[in-house]
Chain A
């Protein structure tokens, strides 16, 4: 039979092969991991549904595979050797077994597989088992450094680093030939670090967007002196209700009527159909800076939420993004994106549009009450005059927001 890529998570249908764990001729058990797949979320082990002998490999490390695609061909075992999780190994004196374990331990991480005669999971703690599940790590593949192969947090970290190191090497950024090798070390000491899977995803999407959309960025400014005072004044009462009142939340409140007035900014271009798709919903992508890189979770139905709900939702998304608790679904379906650098500094910048959207709003730091607005738009569907009207209306909407709207 052919082992095909099973459905992963809702809405997730591709992944990159980061590790092939079987070779042609290998005998594999049911539920044994045949390869490891990385998608935007995590590294997922793909188990074999059957026991048998590997006859053909259809993919190699670095391949991007789709759900349903054949991965490996397996000749199923006929009843003679029924190999299951609790297969009974021939009796081996314990000293010999330990020596084998040692030898196994010295191999590279690739070949390692924890086996227990009783079919028990590798020794570790309940908290680390939970962590491994969340990271998509198959603990049987992690070499435990403790007594009796006990797995520590450090062991999991090293295992992940090894996987990511392997992921970084062979996965090319599509549409970009490998750069000529420069000998940077010739000019001074350098450090090399892996280009992580998440960075590669960012690289691909940014390159694609920048190369295919004619970007223009419109600058404007809004006087938010009054707003900032109100945020200070009413912040505490939001805090009590479990929301943190921020300028981003208030800005969304001012932004959604402007998006309604100029629906083209909340649209997409369907080039194949030759149509512009106007969306009746406003789902805002909110760019969040995390340790791993940029993540853009989606705030759904931003126009239907009151300020307290917006505050709570923003806080929740930011927390989830930073803890890598975002589901794939929460990263999809945005119709307009906000990138706020105000917390860090800087004034105007030229944000890149989050394809297939047609506009993105960049916020700088409000100095002396003046908030810099940078609106990048797709000049194929939007003209400069509209962009200027959009940013002007947004500035006015912010400046004229009544205090009653900000009160809790």
Chain B
């Protein structure tokens, strides 16, 4: 095809991350002719290339090291681990390649054309793509913008020095710095701090707020904080990084703490202070798309931008920057453009943090309820009462239900503990279905599993949990 001849498509999706490819595939399944454009050689977006997948691979690998160390107390001793960073990296890359190839195959089977190149909107219905073999124009009826986000790197920290990393570089594991400063105690800082601490770095974590995992319920954060204090050299709260500068092979960091100022040298710094939308150099000014003060694309509940031909989904529209949120928004956008009255409304989006232990929640949190002055009843089940948790040597967990008092409806579920990310899906189903605590209590959960903690938590609301004695509720139930 000559490069000037535009290709025609019913739908053009810009960005092949978990939102973009979900939109492309779903539209193709509904008979639309779809072109999917992505600038990277390997499709999959941040999630596959520099996010969810590589971080979970590294967390698994380093988690095995921790398990081996902890088994000493059970009478099983391994030798000291020998880490070959090169092979670790190669193993991680193989996973990413396999998943990337999977996306290509799925696209091919559905007849979705995957075009590699950087996209630029010439107008609302035309995308110019700079490919390796030259320019290509796409004329489309509808477009979905799914260009995602990237780690924010404030200019203050941007020294042009590779020793100052964002999550993208940190996931490459070029080497293991001896002294590592992690700026930001959110989920990325904690997950990657854990990886590097296990690989041998001496980690100092600095968080500007009064708590790590700011925004999550405090009772869910507590076990993670306890772990971090043990695994990291230091966890500093209300700590403000003032300045960074290159000092030979090190970075000199000035930091303000509540009572003192510190100047220290680090071998590496990981900046994990949030993410910014990828809206630059897209030609959005040639469309009618509008953006908010932080640069996120404005959309309505149908994922429609201010431009009638364009939809936007995923990180680029803000909100929870999660792959599964993007994938749901993808479905809404495609359903709306094919004439269905779909809405991104009243959708329960679970949050999972893959720290040690994992934290997960869905629906209403206790903090939300307090902020919005919603009366709720909260029941907690500590994992110290779970046989399964004890056999795993992980009694440091908690399962809780946030209930509507009059109806006993489950409004939210929060879990901290081993495998919380896998357990939360039952909570999502309960909240989506408007289940009552009774529904969960009366559904038999298999023994001995961690999922029992949900059932027992619900039972404890009625004061009838087998493994947790509660006098208060017990009396209430008897009356």
Contact assessment for B404 and A133 in the assembled complex, using a CB-CB cutoff below 8 Å: no
Query: Which A residues from 279 to 321 make CB contacts under 8 A with B?
Result: 316
Contact assessment for A133 and B372 in the assembled complex, using a CB-CB cutoff below 8 Å: no
Q: How far is B435's CA from A124's CA once the two chains are assembled, in angstroms? A: 9
How many residue pairs at the A-B interface have CB separations less than 8 Å? 61
The reply on A136 being an interface residue by CB < 8 A is yes
Contact assessment for B375 and A117 in the assembled complex, using a CB-CB cutoff below 8 Å: yes
Q: How far is the CB of A312 from chain B (nearest CB, A)?
A: 9
Contacts A94-B406, A136-B341, A148-B407 given; does A118 touch B432 at CB 8 Å: no
Q: Contact check: which of A88, A126, A148 meets B432 at CB < 8 Å?
A: A126
Q: Which residues of B have CB within 8 Å of A150?
A: 434
Query: Which A residues from 160 to 178 make CB contacts under 8 A with B?
Result: none
Q: How far is the CB of B330 from chain A (nearest CB, A)?
A: 16
The reply on B325 being an interface residue by CB < 8 A is no
Contacts A129-B346, A133-B341, A133-B342 given; does A118 touch B369 at CB 8 Å: yes
Q: How far is the CB of A254 from chain B (nearest CB, A)?
A: 26
The reply on B262 being an interface residue by CB < 8 A is no
The reply on A120 being an interface residue by CB < 8 A is yes
Q: Which residues of A have CB within 8 Å of B31?
A: 316
Contacts A134-B340, A325-B339 given; does A118 touch B434 at CB 8 Å: no
Contact with B along A14-53 (1 / 0, CB 8 A): 0000000000000000000000000000000000000000
Q: How far is B407's CA from A123's CA once the two chains are assembled, in angstroms? A: 10
- Which residue on chain B has the smallest CB distance to residue A129? B346
Contact assessment for A125 and B340 in the assembled complex, using a CB-CB cutoff below 8 Å: no
Q: How far is B404's CA from A197's CA once the two chains are assembled, in angstroms? A: 40
Q: How far is B341's CA from A130's CA once the two chains are assembled, in angstroms? A: 9
Q: Which residues of B have CB within 8 Å of A149?
A: 407
Query: Which A residues from 75 to 96 make CB contacts under 8 A with B?
Result: 86, 88, 91, 94
Contact assessment for B374 and A118 in the assembled complex, using a CB-CB cutoff below 8 Å: yes
Q: How far is the CB of B427 from chain A (nearest CB, A)?
A: 14
Q: Which residues of A have CB within 8 Å of B411?
A: 118, 120
Q: How far is B411's CA from A118's CA once the two chains are assembled, in angstroms? A: 10
Contact assessment for A148 and B433 in the assembled complex, using a CB-CB cutoff below 8 Å: no
Contact assessment for B369 and A123 in the assembled complex, using a CB-CB cutoff below 8 Å: no
Contact assessment for A133 and B406 in the assembled complex, using a CB-CB cutoff below 8 Å: no
The reply on A211 being an interface residue by CB < 8 A is no
Q: How far is B436's CA from A150's CA once the two chains are assembled, in angstroms? A: 10
Q: Contact check: which of B376, B407, B434, B436 meets A124 at CB < 8 Å?
A: B434
Q: How far is B369's CA from A136's CA once the two chains are assembled, in angstroms? A: 30
Q: How far is B433's CA from A129's CA once the two chains are assembled, in angstroms? A: 10
The reply on A98 being an interface residue by CB < 8 A is yes
Q: How far is B364's CA from A117's CA once the two chains are assembled, in angstroms? A: 13
- Which residue on chain A has the smallest CB distance to residue B308? A10
The reply on A97 being an interface residue by CB < 8 A is yes
- Which residue on chain A has the smallest CB distance to residue B433? A125
Q: How far is B372's CA from A116's CA once the two chains are assembled, in angstroms? A: 13
- Which residue on chain A has the smallest CB distance to residue B408? A148
Contact assessment for A97 and B406 in the assembled complex, using a CB-CB cutoff below 8 Å: yes
The reply on A147 being an interface residue by CB < 8 A is yes
The reply on B139 being an interface residue by CB < 8 A is no
Q: How far is the CB of B375 from chain A (nearest CB, A)?
A: 7
By the criterion of a CB under 8 Å from any partner CB, how many residues of chain B are at the interface?
A: 26
Contact assessment for A134 and B434 in the assembled complex, using a CB-CB cutoff below 8 Å: no
The reply on A396 being an interface residue by CB < 8 A is no
Q: How far is the CB of A41 from chain B (nearest CB, A)?
A: 9
Contact assessment for B406 and A88 in the assembled complex, using a CB-CB cutoff below 8 Å: no
Q: Contact check: which of B340, B369, B434 meets A148 at CB < 8 Å?
A: B434
Q: Which residues of A have CB within 8 Å of B438?
A: 147
The reply on B215 being an interface residue by CB < 8 A is no
Contacts A118-B364, A118-B369 given; does A123 touch B374 at CB 8 Å: no
Q: Which residues of B have CB within 8 Å of A257?
A: none
Contact with B along A313-352 (1 / 0, CB 8 A): 0001000000001010110000000000000000000000
The reply on A121 being an interface residue by CB < 8 A is yes
Contact with A along B328-345 (1 / 0, CB 8 A): 000000000001111100
Contact assessment for A148 and B405 in the assembled complex, using a CB-CB cutoff below 8 Å: no
Q: How far is the CB of A347 from chain B (nearest CB, A)?
A: 37
Query: Which of A88, A118, A125, A126 has its CB near the most chain B CB atoms (within 10 A)?
Result: A118
Contact with A along B386-430 (1 / 0, CB 8 A): 000000000000000000111111010000000000000000000
Query: Which of B340, B406, B433 has its CB near the most chain A CB atoms (within 10 A)?
Result: B406
Contact assessment for B405 and A94 in the assembled complex, using a CB-CB cutoff below 8 Å: yes
Q: Contact check: which of A117, A123, A327 meets B434 at CB < 8 Å?
A: A123
Q: How far is B373's CA from A122's CA once the two chains are assembled, in angstroms? A: 19
Contact assessment for B409 and A148 in the assembled complex, using a CB-CB cutoff below 8 Å: yes
Q: How far is B339's CA from A329's CA once the two chains are assembled, in angstroms? A: 10
Q: Which residues of B have CB within 8 Å of A133?
A: 340-343
Q: Which residues of A have CB within 8 Å of B432?
A: 125-126
Q: Which residues of A have CB within 8 Å of B343?
A: 133
Q: How far is B374's CA from A91's CA once the two chains are assembled, in angstroms? A: 11
Contact with B along A147-160 (1 / 0, CB 8 A): 11110000000000
Query: Which A residues from 101 to 116 make CB contacts under 8 A with B?
Result: 116
- Which residue on chain B has the smallest CB distance to residue A120? B411
Q: How far is B85's CA from A279's CA once the two chains are assembled, in angstroms? A: 71
Q: Which residues of A have CB within 8 Å of B434?
A: 122-125, 148, 150
Q: Which residues of A have CB within 8 Å of B407?
A: 123, 147-149
Contact assessment for A134 and B364 in the assembled complex, using a CB-CB cutoff below 8 Å: no
Q: Which residues of A have CB within 8 Å of B408?
A: 148
Query: Which A residues from 124 to 141 make CB contacts under 8 A with B?
Result: 124-126, 129-130, 133-134, 136
Q: Contact check: which of B342, B346, B404 meets A118 at CB < 8 Å?
A: B404
Q: Which residues of B have CB within 8 Å of A330?
A: 339
Q: Which residues of B have CB within 8 Å of A120?
A: 364, 404, 411
Q: How far is B342's CA from A94's CA once the two chains are assembled, in angstroms? A: 35
Q: Contact check: which of B339, B341, B373, B404 meets A88 at CB < 8 Å?
A: B373
- Which residue on chain B has the smallest CB distance to residue A139? B346
Q: Which residues of A have CB within 8 Å of B372?
A: 86, 118-119
Q: How far is B411's CA from A138's CA once the two chains are assembled, in angstroms? A: 21
Q: Which residues of B have CB within 8 Å of A122?
A: 434
A sample of 6 cross-chain residue pairs with beta-carbon separation below 8 angstroms, ordered by A number, consists of: A88-B373, A120-B404, A123-B407, A129-B346, A148-B409, A148-B436
Q: Which 6 A-B pairs have the closest CB atoms?
A: A123-B434, A148-B407, A327-B339, A118-B374, A94-B406, A121-B346
16 additional A-B residue pairs with CB within 8 Å, beyond A94-B406, A147-B436, A148-B408: A97-B406, A118-B404, A118-B411, A120-B404, A121-B346, A123-B409, A123-B433, A125-B433, A130-B342, A133-B340, A134-B341, A150-B434, A325-B340, A327-B339, A329-B339, A330-B339
